Structures are given as structure tokens and as C-alpha cells.
């Protein structure tokens, strides 16, 4: 979901990812087939408004 979210942001030109195994790479590449709904994106953005800096 994180990769799909990043990919759907209009200000993102590319998405960087890293994989330590072929299985993880496959999962990352499978995220290309995921499109988050407008409702889910709105919910995620609402969470971001509360936790603007989640990793201090």
C-alpha cells in the first residue's frame, strides 16, 4: 500500500524501492497493480494531518 500511495501522489516523479530478496522484489513490483480509492487516499491524508512527522 505504501508504494501504491507514493505512486499516486501527483508531486512524485519516481518511486525508489529496495529489495533484499527476489520475493520482496516481486511484492514491490506487484504494487504496480494496486490503485488506492479516493476514499482511502482521503483517510490516509487525514491521518497525515494528525501525524505530520511520524518518525522523529
Residue ranges of domains in the chain: 1-7+20-56
Q: Angle at Cα 29 formed by Cα 31 and Cα 13, nearest 5°? A: 75
* 54 has pLDDT over 80: no
For residues 4 and 36, the answer to whether their CB atoms sit within 8 Å is: yes
Mean pLDDT of 5-13: 91
Mean pLDDT of 11-30: 93
Amino acid at each position: 500500500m505504501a508504494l501504491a500511495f507514493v505512486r499516486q501522489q501527483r508531486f512524485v516523479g519516481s518511486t525508489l524501492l529496495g529489495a533484499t530478496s527476489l520475493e520482496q522484489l516481486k511484492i514491490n513490483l506487484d504494487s504496480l497493480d494496486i490503485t488506492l480509492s479516493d476514499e482511502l487516499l482521503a483517510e490516509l491524508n487525514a491521518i497525515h494531518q494528525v501525524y505530520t512527522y511520524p518518525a522523529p
